[in-house]
Amino acid sequence: MGADPHQLFEEWFALAAASEPNDPNAVALATADAGGRPSVRMVLLKGHDERGFVFYTNRDSRKGGDLDANPQAALLFHWKSLRRQVRVEGPVSCVAPQEADAYFATRSRDSRLGAWASDQSRPLDCRETFEARYEEMRRRFAGTDVPRPPRWSGFRVAPERIEFWTARAHRLHERRLFTRIGDIWSEGLLYP
C-alpha cells in the first residue's frame, strides 16, 4: 500500500507493452451525453502523466460531442495476457493546441489526410464517397505539410479514481482503489 498510482500505472503499462500482441495502449472510453445516455468505444492512449490520460479525436465526433456536453469519462484498460485491468474515472478537458499540433505531426501523412477527409461519426452514404474525399485531400495538400484540422484535438482525463485489478485464483481477485482529493491520493482495497 501507499504506492503512487501514476508510477504503478507506468509499471503495468510497460509490462503490457512487452506482453500484449496488439495495441497495449488500447483503452475503452465511456462517455455520456447531456441526457446521461452512455456510449463506449475503443481509443488509443497517446500520453499519460500526473495530469492525466490523453487520447485524440475529432471534436465533432460522437465522443467529442458527449465530452462537450458532459466533460466526465471513464477508461478501462484490459490486458488479458497479464490478467490485469485498470479503471480510470475523472473530468475531461482539451489539451493545449500546441500539444495537439505536436502529436498530430507525428502521425503518418495518410492518417493526417484521413483526419481531414472524415466527418467522424456522421452518416456516410457509401465507402466511395469517403475515398473520394481522401483523394481530394491528397490533391489539396500535395507538396505541403498537412496541418491539424481545426476540430481535431486531444482530450485529457484527469483521474479522480484509479482502480488496479489483478485476477486471482477462484475469483479471489485483488482490487486496489486510489482516490484523489485535491493533490492527495488515498489508497484502499475493494472486495472482488
pTM for this one? 0.93
Q: What is the pLDDT of residue 136?
A: 97
User: Residue 162 — φ and ψ, nearest 5°?
Assistant: -135, 120
Q: Which of 171, 175, 176, 180 is catalytic?
A: 171
Q: Active site includes 62?
A: no
Kindly state whether residue 82 falls inside one of the protein's structural domains: yes
- Residue positions counted in the chain: 192
Q: What is the pLDDT of residue 126?
A: 95
Kindly state whether residue 141 falls inside one of the protein's structural domains: no
Q: What is the pLDDT of residue 187?
A: 94
Kindly state whether residue 128 falls inside one of the protein's structural domains: no
Kindly state whether residue 35 falls inside one of the protein's structural domains: yes
Q: What is the pLDDT of residue 111?
A: 96
Q: What is the pLDDT of residue 2?
A: 59
Kindly state whether residue 117 falls inside one of the protein's structural domains: no
In which domain, by residue range, is 160 found? 5-102+154-190
- pLDDT mean by block of 10 residues, the chain; 192 residues: 86 94 95 97 97 96 96 97 96 97 97 95 94 97 96 97 96 95 92 94
Kindly state whether residue 146 falls inside one of the protein's structural domains: no
Is residue 97 helix, strand or coil?
helix
Q: What is the pLDDT of residue 21?
A: 82
Confirm if 104 and 152 have CB atoms less than 8 A apart: yes
In the chain, which ranges are continuous DSSP H helix?
5-19, 62-69, 97-106, 109-117, 127-140
CATH number at residue 22: 2.30.110.10
What is the number of domains present in the chain?
Answer: 1
Q: How far is CA 99 from the centre of its chain?
A: 15
Nearest to 88 by CA among 7, 18, 9: 9
